[in-house]
Amino acid sequence: MKRFLALLASGATVMGLTVLASPPAAAATGCKVEYTVTSQWQGGFQGGVKVTNLGDAVSGWQLKFTLPGSGQKVVQGWNATWSQSGSTVTAAGIDWNKNLATGGTADVGFVGSFSGANPAPTGFTLNGVACTGTVGGGGDDDDPPPATGGGTPVETNGQLHVCGTNLCNQYNRPIQLRGMSTHGLQWFSKCYNNASLDALANDWKADLLRTAMYVQEDGYETDPAGFTSKVNSLVDMAEARGMYALIDFHTLTPGDPNYNLERAKTFFASVAARNASKKNVIYEIANEPNGVSWAGIKNYAEQVIPVIRAADPDAVVIVGTRGWSSLGVSDGSNESEVVNSPVNATNIMYAFHFYAASHKDNYRATVSRAASKLPLFVTEFGTVSATGGGALDRASTTAWLDLLDQLKISYANWTYSDANESSAAFKPGTCDGGDYSSSGVLTESGALLKSRISTPDNFPTS
């Protein structure tokens, strides 16, 4: 199994890992690079590099640059094979991102160390061609910025739909939504109010609010009318702020969604009829199926989707997948079972969930393969282990988010809450106050996700 994380110099052994130089790749004819420092601490920093191929398609690529500062070293990196010789750093494409079409991009990142100053890298080249922003390796970067709408996410994109393997907007262009998931409404309802939703839309600049309505565990089955009302209220609050609302029928225990088939039909008939005229609603019909075959999940989906379509024929519907929505990977399978036997419905996507500290290379490889055949939506993921606890895995989380950005796969992070667990965005007690934005209330996970979500969207409008 290949690792996305590689350490230091060609041929050197560091912490038991030997990194070999990649073979020469075909010539490039033009490129541009965007470099960012996403965080910095005493003696260390995290850098991100986005390289865009402006010229002919490249099969196999090497990005080289110089770290000019004293003591600047690449400690670990992701989405490439990394090596360093003196001040020269090389990042080479790996199996799933080695090909760069004309206009194609690769997002790579690394954690570095330094002593003294920490100047930005210089002298970026792609397969030996200087990345100056034009074809031929010279001149200024005069490329116009991509067209984006000036309004809220919903104003800009309008009614969404599935086109090919992508989530597309009203202009029939692929887009990526980035946002947060609530925790269980039965436990953390105090976290979802005007102040927190204002912060999510305006300070976090999120595109999406996923509402996790548990069915069991003191959820919907205890008060169907009450929980339906809570969901509809959050749909309205998201709509008022220009965000999309993902309605999650949060089945977890028991894992077979057919156990809740009649409840699902009742719930979705109600919310689809009530919200059919809205452009911001997406339906997720089964959170994390587990202990059930793909055939069982498909049978459930093909009974619930027609109920939604009877009231709301246009909205996107997301179907959970086997093995806690892992496309079957957590059950020892893979995406082929869905590819070979897709749900008999249109305008649908398939859910994929991951927890960065637990789910790494083989899960990312599955998503990379599946994204060319299936429309995927990461409706839930965490920066920590699958238990929702443990330390934040920054390297794996960043590798995941870079991959999702590259593939334009939308995502919602677990969770926008002050739960006493490291996956929560807020420190315990935050929801008793009114501050949902300052650094003082954010956990390490929350700070990382806010920094990723709040960067400008790239919504094409033509």
Catalytic residues: 288, 380
What gap in Å lies between CA 110 and CA 47, rounded to an integer? Answer: 5
Q: Are 36 and 456 in contact (CB under 8 A)?
A: no
Q: Which helix (H) or strand (E) holds 161?
A: strand 161-163
Closest CA to 350 of 382, 326, 333: 326
C-alpha 295/C-alpha 328 separation (Å) is: 12
Instruction: Please give the Cα distance from 139 to 222 (Å, whole number).
Output: 66
Nearest Cα neighbor of 332 from 375, 287, 363, 361 is 363
Amino acid identity of residue 19, one-letter, is V
In three-state secondary structure terms, 366 is helix
Start-end of H helices in 276-353: 294-311, 322-325, 336-340
What DSSP line would sit under 76-119, residue for residue? EEESSEEEEETTEEEEE--TTT-EE-TT-EEEEEEEEE-SS--P
